Amino acid sequence: MTKGWQLTLVLILLGLFALFYQGLWGDPRHIPTVLIGTDAPMVEGPDVETGDMISLEQFKGKVVLLNFWASWCYECKVEHESVLQLHQLFKDDPNFVMLGVNYQDKLPDAQQYLKEYGTTFPHMRDLHGQIAIDYGVYGVPETFVIDQEGKIRYKYVGPVTGHMYTTITQNIIAPLLKDQPINTKS
């Protein structure tokens, strides 16, 4: 085989193995979101605990943290403490709202979960999966941060704990509340 073909072969092989190596550290199921910077869908659903209708419309002009969870989800339990703590951190700011969305769950299970693990903010039920689909959700837990203009500024798939907790609180929510630009690179 000529030198040209030999070189092509070697380059293809090297490229291939570099690609495979890169692939080892990724998550083939992770879907990068296309919603950053777009308008947050104005969804609504009945409150898990009280049954009253909650609508995102009510919180226009505020920074909203939307957290999708389910009672059957292990990682949601893992992040629950963290999430409550996050709420404590910002609850006194009148421009901050925290909302949970109960995803693909049975009402008694969801109510039992909240009773057992406690909560300090309201949760709306996603009755037909429409809320989740509107937000491009494909699993739980997923967390969104919506700014005062009603635009989705940040999304995270996975439990908000440790390093991610710090990123969201310090680099996303805090600056937004002060009308400062945010840094999404953690």
Partner 1 sequence: MIIEIGHFSVIIALVLSVFGMASSALALKTRNPDWARSGRMALTLIFSLLSIGMLSLVYSFIVRDFSVLYVANNSNSKLPFFYTVSAVWGGHEGSLLLWVFILSVFSTLAVWLHWRTQPTIMPYLIAVECAIIFGFLCLIVFLSSPFERLLPVPLDGKDLNPLLQDPAMVMHPPMLYMGYVGFSIPFSFAMAALFSGRLGEEWIKVTQRWTTFAWMCLTTGILLGGYWAYYELGWGGYWGWDPVENASFMPWLVGTAYLHSVLVQEKRKMFKVWNLFLIIVTFSLSLIGTFLVRSGVLTSVHSFATDPERGLYILIFVGSVIGIAFGALILRSNKLKSQVEMDSLISRESIFLFNNLFFLVAAATVFLGTLYPLILETLQGAKVTVGPPYYNAVFMPIALGLLFLMGIGPYIPWRKASVASLKKSFSIPLLAGAVMVVVLAITGIRNLYALAGTYVVAFSGMAIVLDFGKVSQLYAQRNSSNIFKGCLSAFTANQRRYAAMLTHIGVLVLVIGIIASTIYQTEKVVSMQVGDEFTIADYRIKLTELHEVEGGNWKAEEGVFQVFDGATLLTELRPQKRIYNATKTPTTESAIYAINMGHIFLTMPEVSPEGVAVARGVINPLILWVWGGGIIMGLGVILNILRPRKKDE
Partner 2 sequence: MRMSIRFTLILLLILTSPWPLLAEVQDETALDIQVREIAKTLRCTVCQTENIWESGAPLAQQMRGVVRERLKLGHSPEDIQEYFLSRYGDYIMMEPPKHGVNWLIWVGPFILLLGGGLLLYKEVNGWVRGTPSPPAAAPPPLDEQARQRLERELES
CB nearer to partner 2: give 29 or 185.
29
Q: Which does 23 bind (CB under 5 to 8 A by kind): partner 1, partner 2, none?
A: partner 1
Based on the shown chain and the rule CB under 8 A, indicate whether residue 74 belongs to the binding site for partner 2. no
160 contacts: CB under 8 Å, gap ≥ 6: 67, 79, 82, 83, 86, 141, 143, 168
Based on the shown chain and the rule CB under 8 A, indicate whether residue 128 belongs to the binding site for partner 2. yes
Residues 47, 122 contacting (CB under 8 angstroms): yes
Neighbours of 173 (CB within 10 A): 24
Which part of the chain contacts partner 1 (CB under 8 A), choosing from 21-29, 49-57, 133-141, 168-176? 21-29
Considering only 26, 37, 108, 181, the residue that binds partner 1 (CB under 8 A) is: 26
Considering only 86, 99, 101, 132, the residue that binds partner 2 (CB under 8 A) is: 132
Residues 44, 54 contacting (CB under 8 angstroms): yes
* Rounded Cα–Cα distance for residues 144 and 153 (Å): 8
Interacting residue ranges for partner 1, rule: CB under 8 A: 1, 6, 9-10, 13, 17, 19-26, 28-32
